[in-house]
Amino acid sequence: MSGGEMPIIIPLLSDKEGASVDELDDHILLLEAARHRLDVEWCEVLGVFEEGDGHRVFGYPSLVAYLRDRARMAGARAKRYVMWARAARRFRATFKAWRQNLVSTDQAGLLFRAAERVPDEYPDAEDVLLEIVGDNVEETRRVLDYWTATVNQPGKGSDLETQLLRRRFDYSRRANGMVEGEFALTSTAGEALIAALDAMTPPPASDDTRTTTQRRHDGFEDLVNSFLTGSTPPEVGGERPHVNVMVDLEALQGSPGGTHETEDGQVLDLDTIRVFACDSSLHRIVWNGQSEILDVGRRTRIIPAALRRAVIARDRHCVWQGCGRSARWADIHHLVSWADGGTTELTNLCLLCRYHHTLIHLHGWQPADVLHLKQKIPARAGHRTI
pTM higher than 0.85, yes or no?
A: no
- 203 prior amide bond cis, ω within 30: no
The pLDDT value recorded for residue 94 is 94
In order, the DSSP letters of 129-184 are HHHHS-SSHHHHHHHHHHHHHHHS-TTS--HHHHHHHH-EEEEEE-TTS-EEEEEE
DSSP SS3 for 221: helix
**CA-to-CA distance for 289 and 310, rounded, in angstroms?**
15
329 secondary structure, DSSP code: G
- SS3 at position 63: helix
Which residues neighbour 279 within 8 Å (Cβ) at sequence distance 6 or greater? none
Per-residue pLDDT of the chain (386 residues; tens, 9 = 90+): 445 565 667 778 888 888 899 989 999 998 998 899 999 999 999 999 999 999 988 888 889 989 999 999 888 889 889 999 999 999 999 999 999 999 999 999 999 989 888 888 899 999 999 998 878 888 898 889 888 877 765 544 456 677 777 888 888 878 777 888 888 888 878 888 888 888 888 777 777 888 888 888 888 888 887 776 665 555 555 555 555 677 777 766 666 667 777 766 677 766 666 655 555 555 555 555 555 545 545 555 577 777 888 888 888 888 887 777 777 777 888 888 776 778 888 888 888 887 777 777 777 666 555 555 654 444 333 333 32
Q: Report the C-alpha gap between 26 and 144 in whole angstroms.
A: 31
Look at residue 125 in the predicted model and tell me its pLDDT.
92
Residue whose C-alpha is closest to residue 311's, from 346, 342, 264: 346
How many Cβ atoms are within 10 Å of 292's Cβ, its own excluded? 15
DSSP 11: -
